[in-house]
Copies of this chain bind each other. A is one copy, B any other.
Amino acid sequence: MEPWRTAITSSDEKSIFVRGYDVTSLMTQATFTDMIYLLHQGRLPAKEERRLFDAILIGVSDHGPSAPSAAAARIVASGNRQSLEAAVAAGVLAIGDAHGGAGYECMQMIRENLDQARRESVSIQDAARRLAASAKSERKRLPGMGHRIHTEDPRTRVLFEMASESGLAGDGIVFMQALEAEARQQIRPLPVNVDGALAAVLHDLGFPPAAAKLIFIIGRVAGLTAQVMEEYAREKPMRVRIPVTYDGPPPRELK
């Protein structure tokens, strides 16, 4: 078997180096948010990048026990009282296209539309207009926009303002704001949700699309661990009883 190559972490008997930095130096001089940034970007963030990155991670870290990831984690904890890791992992598995994973798709959409606009010398505004029109005519959902609970996601405003104030707002945010305006005019009010805001900000920070899902997972795992802890501490095993209606074939005999 060939050795596995990695550019992330090396270690010997005495030391562990992450992206070239001795982990003990990082432990004394960096924050966990620095470390996440370093692991993914290969460099430590500047102060303003760190603050924005902190805000992203905080913003997605928990949304209550009813979110599919937390509900899955709690139900697993309800049936399996011996494996904390099983409950957290089940929560991670619920993070997909419909829950928490829309940022991935949104970031791809941002990239493709900005690339195309650049190639065709079209303004970002026009690119957004075009996309909203095509979403309307093809009746396609715009990823990162709309929310089942919030009419305006308060986390979006904060992320966009922080990015703007610190000079980190780029074409990703401009595009998503233009798209929101166009959607309001052409389709209906579809506020940029936290997935969309995360996608725009991560794009402007230079992350690839897959990072939208991975960074969401890092943030949300913080909340999932707390949800699992609460389930273990407060609830009895097997307490979840979901009401069920059977609408299949009536009782029948085997021939």
Contact = CB atoms under 8 A, between A and B. Distances in A.
Contact of A33 (B24, B31, B243): B31
B7 A247 contact: yes
Nearest to A227: B8
Contact of A86 (B93, B228, B249): B93
A88 to B, nearest CB: 6
Interface string A55-69: 101110111111111
Contact of A213 (B79, B84, B244, B251): B84
A243 B3 contact: yes
Interface in A142-173: 148-152, 154-155, 157-159, 162
Given A20-B248, A96-B85, A251-B22, A64 B27 contact: no
User: How many subunits of this chain does the assembly comprise?
Assistant: 4
Interface in A92-139: 92-101, 104
B81 A98 contact: yes
Interface of A: 1-11, 13-33, 35-36, 39-40, 42, 44, 53-55, 57-59, 61-69, 71-72, 74-76, 78-90, 92-101, 104, 148-152, 154-155, 157-159, 162, 208, 210-211, 213-215, 217-219, 221-223, 225-230, 232-234, 237-238, 240-254
